[in-house]
Amino acid sequence: MYCINCGFKRSLYDKFCKWCGPSKGWLTPFGANVTGQDINEKKARVARALLNLKDPHTGDEIAFGTINREKICWKVLQIQDDKAFIFSCKPVCYMPYHIPGGDITWSECTLRVWLNSVFINKFFDKKEKTRMIQTNVINEDNPDYLTPGGPPTTDIAFLLSIEELRHFVLDEETCVYGTSWWLRSPGDDQKSVPIVDREGYMRPGVSVQAFNGVRPAMWIKIV
């Protein structure tokens, strides 16, 4: 079942939504009157996308890049004209947000440097790199603690912010991976960053020197 307020997947045993608290109703993942044909059509779209990145739809999973001889799987969060916003289905590595620690924002952290150098250069071939789109990334202040988010950046690969996590309303299957993973927004102070924990809850901030999963997002061309 899904929260009618925000769309977040819920268990029948949940007393309230993890994101927005008690809600007044439920939604199914496909809306009303789900049929076997709906499910089969979605599976067919996923299969086509995995093969050639053509005609993906929001919610599909696509293969893009390779780590340890295995294709990296991404979830399509949004389609906009000839490009798609994709988010890795599982962590591509585990590392600190900023190795030296201390006060930091996304613009200066070591994880951002790694994503836009080693990650991009090592795990994608030349053809895949031509699909990548440089993105103007807005780094908002923390909405609850008002911790400064820092200046905007131009990135290919980046992490989801708190606002993006809430906007795209990731379902439980996407959020819960069995380990915690980083967001890019500042935490409850300048030395911490929010994470999504192994149960799918967002935590306000952990030390930037802690090890957590890295789940990149990026925009790519799909035609």
Q: What is the pLDDT along the chain (223 residues), one digit of tens a residue?
A: 444 444 445 565 565 555 444 444 433 333 334 445 555 665 555 555 555 577 788 988 899 999 888 899 999 999 999 999 999 999 999 999 999 999 999 999 999 999 999 999 999 999 999 999 999 999 999 999 999 999 999 999 999 999 999 888 667 667 776 789 999 999 999 999 999 998 888 999 999 999 999 999 999 999 7
How many Cβ atoms sit within 10 Å of the Cβ of residue 154?
A: 10
The pTM of this model reads: 0.77
State the Cα–Cα distance between residues 194 and 212, nearest whole angstrom. Answer: 11
State the Cα–Cα distance between residues 152 and 67, nearest whole angstrom. Answer: 29
